[in-house]
Amino acid sequence: MRDWLYAFGRDGCVYFGLNWCQADWWQTGLWPIVWVLLGIGCVVLPLLGAVAFMTLWERRLIAFMQVRLGPNRLGPLGLLQPVADIVKLLLKEVIRPDRSDKFLYYLGPIMTIMPAMAAWAVVPFGPDLVLANVNAGLLYLFAITSMEVYGVIMAGWASNSKYPLLGAMRASAQMLSYEIAMGICILVVLMVTGSLHIGAIVQGQTQGWFASHGLNFLSWNWLPLLPIFVVYVISAVAETNRHPFDVVEGEAEIVAGHMVEYSGMGFALFFLAEYANMILLSVMASLLFLGGWSAPLGFEHLTFLPQWLTGLMNTGWIWLGLKTFVLLSVFVWIRGTFPRFRYDQIMRLGWKVFIPVTLVWLVVVGAWMQTSWSIWK
Q: What is the pLDDT of residue 285?
A: 92
Condensed to tens digits (0 to 9), the pLDDT of residues 92-116 reads 877 887 777 788 888 888 888 888 8
Q: What is the pLDDT of residue 230?
A: 92
Through-space distance between the first and last CA atoms of the chain, rounded to whole angstroms: 33
Eight-state DSSP code of residue 19: G
Task: Give the amino acid at 204.
Answer: G
Q: What is the pLDDT of residue 312?
A: 58
At 115 the three-state DSSP class reads: helix
Q: What percent of the chain has pLDDT over 90?
A: 10
CA–CA distance, 328 with 51 (Å, rounded to integer): 11
Rounded to 10 degrees, the C-alpha dihedral 58/60/66/67 comes to -170
Nearest Cα to Cα of residue 362 among 206, 227, 194? 227
Residue pair 349/172 in contact by the 8 Å Cβ criterion: no
Condensed to tens digits (0 to 9), the pLDDT of residues 273-283 reads 888 889 999 99
- Sign for the pseudo-dihedral over CA of 7, 12, 14, 19: negative
CA–CA distance, 244 with 13 (Å, rounded to integer): 55
Q: What is the pLDDT of residue 266?
A: 81
Condensed to tens digits (0 to 9), the pLDDT of residues 214-267 reads 777 888 888 888 999 999 999 999 888 888 887 766 665 666 677 777 877 888
Q: What is the pLDDT of residue 19?
A: 58
CA–CA distance, 206 with 273 (Å, rounded to integer): 32
